[in-house]
């Protein structure tokens, strides 16, 4: 009879049964590699972050990368030097580089339950009016660039 996985063995999935509190991990890479292979080795805690979770977090827009760790206060730091949202889980990571991982991103489940084409009230060449349902962000958030009206319309 199979045993139930403990929470430390259970991998993170982005639609967890229970709501998880916000969690952000700041990682300075000691070695190189790809995000999907490096992050599971260096992110501690439970539920465990595995390669599948890294792919899901990257797809959601919850992982950022910079070749050098940024200062704590980003005021005055040029945009070009700030961490950028990662689009590819196979992105190469350099030793000494920085990753910010929103391990428990805010989720908007109502975004998946909507027929977005039916919600378009009017549109023009460079504008659109949408009857946005409650519980869905208008714009991308720092930890979720996908489940928002701007990305789904």
Structure tokens at 148: 């928002």
Question: Going by C-beta distance under 8 Å and a sequence separation of 6 or more, which residues neighbour residue 97?
Answer: 28, 29, 65, 66, 67, 68, 69
pTM across the whole model: 0.84
Secondary structure element (H or E) that encloses residue 119, with its range: helix 116-119
pLDDT of residue 11: 53
Are 43 and 84 in contact, with CB atoms under 8 Å apart? Answer: no
Q: Where are the domains of the chain?
A: 24-102, 109-152
Give residue-wise pLDDT tens across range 109-119.
888 889 999 99
What's 76's DSSP letter?
T
Question: Going by C-beta distance under 8 Å and a sequence separation of 6 or more, which residues neighbour residue 53?
Answer: 11, 12, 13, 14, 40
User: Could you tell me which CATH number the domain at 24-102 has?
Assistant: 3.10.290
Structure tokens at 29: 């890479």
> Dmax of the chain from CA atoms?
61
pLDDT of residue 16: 66
Give residue-wise pLDDT tens across range 48-107.
899 999 999 999 999 999 999 988 877 878 888 889 999 999 999 999 999 999 999 998
pLDDT of residue 4: 40
**Strand 33-34 to strand 120-123: parallel, antiparallel, or no bridges (unpaired)?**
unpaired
């Amino acid at each position: 009879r199979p045993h139930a996985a403990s929470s430390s063995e259970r991998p993170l999935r982005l639609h967890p049964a229970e709501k998880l509190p916000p969690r952000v991990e700041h990682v300075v890479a000691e070695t190189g590699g790809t995000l999907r292979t490096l992050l599971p080795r260096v992110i501690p805690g439970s539920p465990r972050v595995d390669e599948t979770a890294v792919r899901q977090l990257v797809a959601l827009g919850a992982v950022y990368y910079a070749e050098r760790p940024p200062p704590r206060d980003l005021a005055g730091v040029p945009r070009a030097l700030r961490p950028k949202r990662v689009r590819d889980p196979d992105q190469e990571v350099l030793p000494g580089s920085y990753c910010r991982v929103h391990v428990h991103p805010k989720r908007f489940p109502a975004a998946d339950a909507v027929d977005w084409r039916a919600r378009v009230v009017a549109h023009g060449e460079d504008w659109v009016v949408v009857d946005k349902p409650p519980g869905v962000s208008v714009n991308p958030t720092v930890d979720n660039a996908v489940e928002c009206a701007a990305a789904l319309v």
